Structure 1
Amino acid sequence: MKKMLFLAALILSGPALFAQRITIADLGSYKKMIPLDSLVFTVQYDVSILEDPEHPDNVTKETMMLRVGKDVSEYYSYTSFMADSVLRADIQSGASQQTINEHLQQYGFGVISHRIYKNYPKGQLTLLDRIAMDNYVVEEPMLKIGWTIHPDTATICGYSCQKATTHLYGRDYEAWFTADIARSDGPWKLHGLPGLILKAEDTQKHYCFIASGIEQSRNVSLIEMPETSRRKISRKELNKLHERFNADPQGYIKVNAPNVTVTVKDGMGNEIRKMSNPYNPIELN
């Protein structure tokens, strides 16, 4: 099936400073989904990311979902979730290429490209990601996070929460969890507390996750994983690829996807022949 190219541009600041989002949709991944678990409840998180510490006023926002099942949880972008739902229906119904193109333009994809499955397979964390036209999977044991629980309390989303702190992948984190929801889970890779994490941020305030809503599943719904070919790599290898891609997205695509032509324009419609994105990864080591 022909690969589709979707471009989105976000103006950051200044006359010539732009962050470009380049996503090449893998339409083949919508053909078959692998059921992993039954959905129990969903937590919506408002995520703030400071992608360029030299421009602290330019904060990237993303809405993420933690879909929690009986044993497995799934964490990924709400924007991507909506796009996936529409495109999956298009593929299954045999929609025209024009309709698919229109939906790609209409829905787009999230800023956060990865999808995280906790406790799948049992005791493991599986992360799916896509850079240019390549799909990757990182499989690693669920990390035992060393938390320190503090007496401080706060109310988040109507739930009484307690403070906890930890150090993870080069950043220090402050988290707030509620024992009222006895699920040891949270946004991103955070887990391991005696209750659901409703808020977390690193001490530099580069990454912040705060729950904005919790919804019980009222209908039969599944946590699923798209069945598609993926290259298995390590966490650090994937982070290096993201670093290379952000340093020169067009050059990266030219080398790794030579059959794809990319044209990037700024907010005024002027073509940008070479660009780079600020890169402030959540994992520093």
Structure 2
Amino acid sequence: MSLPTPVPTDTLAKRVLDVERYRITYQMKHWPIPQDTFVVREYQYLLQVGELYQKFWPKRWQMADSIYDHEVVSKTANHATGRVHISERLEVDDPEVILRDLAAQTITTRITPLLNGTYEYSEPNAEIKWKLIEGDSIVAGYKCRQATTVFRGRRFFAWYAPEVELSTGPVRFAGLPGVLRLVCPRGGALHWASALCRPARAYLLHLRYPWGLSLRAGRARGDQGLRPHL
């Protein structure tokens, strides 16, 4: 995928790709031991929706970027002493960024498995074939319809809101006539639920360069350390 050249900046090195139209917040819950419901991992992810690109990434990473930008501009961070900065405390383990190029119909994934480097690879946008089924529900205050699909060998269920005319959703899920509000696999050991969907106010949708790490391409190597469900 061909991305624009870097935009001059005195903060993080970035490629500015697009301007947001919508910003959707998803709450991800993962039960690594399905039989033990008390052991659960929770993360918040942002889905930034632009005209040309869509970006799905950890909300805390976006917060860290914003705080770091502010620190540099206001000169409040003491980089010379190696002190732990406010922004560093917001970094997450094993961050994953998924970037959709809507024109080229490709997806670029950048992952950083713990102690395993940073990987980036591009692949064609997956064509997900949904089947509408009975099971309407109310999710985050919206009346949603239910659909199901088999993706990479697993059965997933999704609830989408037709009144929000965005054919998109978390991770790689899209293709229904409405924004995806809830997605979960059979067994319910994992789910993504949207908590907020609102128009954005000219936030830049960007892809930052990794600091201190070299990118290594390749889907096979990049899958090392990934969550096994996708």
Q: TM-score range by the shorter chain?
A: 0.7 to 0.9
2:70 is aligned with 1:70 = no
Percentage of pairs with the same residue: 20
Alignment of 1:95-110 (within 5 A): 95-97=77-79, 98=81, 101-104=84-87, 107-110=89-92
Q: Which runs of 4 or more aligned residues in structure 1 lie more than 6 Å from their structure 2 counterparts after TM superposition?
A: none
Partner of 2:229: 282
Distance across 2 between alignment mates of 1:116 and 1:90: 26
Q: CA RMSD in A?
A: 2.3
Which of 23, 29, 37 is matched with 1:48 structurally?
Answer: 29
Q: Residue deviations 1:203-257, cap 9 Å, x none? A: 111211111111211x3211100134522111x4322x217xxxxxxxxxxxxxx
**TM-score, normalised on structure 1?**
0.68
2:117 is aligned with 1:117 = no
Secondary structure of the residue that 1:61 maps to in structure 2?
strand
Tell me if structure 2 keeps the 8 A contact 1:41–1:68: yes
Instruction: Tell which structure's C-alpha radius of gyration is larger.
Output: 1
Tell me if structure 1 keeps the 8 A contact 2:52–2:103: no
Distance across 2 between alignment mates of 1:152 and 1:54: 25
Deviation at 1:112, TM superposition (A): 5.3
Partner of 1:206: 189
Distance across 2 between alignment mates of 1:31 and 1:180: 37
Distance across 1 between alignment mates of 2:100 and 2:83: 31
Deviation at 1:82, TM superposition (A): 0.8
**TM-score, normalised on structure 2?**
0.83
Secondary structure of the residue that 1:220 maps to in structure 2?
coil
Deviation at 1:38, TM superposition (A): 0.9
Deviation at 1:170, TM superposition (A): 2.7
Distance across 1 between alignment mates of 2:109 and 2:16: 16
Aligned length: 214
Unaligned ranges ≥5, structure 2: 1-10
Unaligned ranges ≥5, structure 1: 1-29, 244-279
Amino acid of the structure 2 residue aligned with 1:128: R
Tell me if structure 2 keeps the 8 A contact 1:66–1:75: yes
Partner of 2:3: none
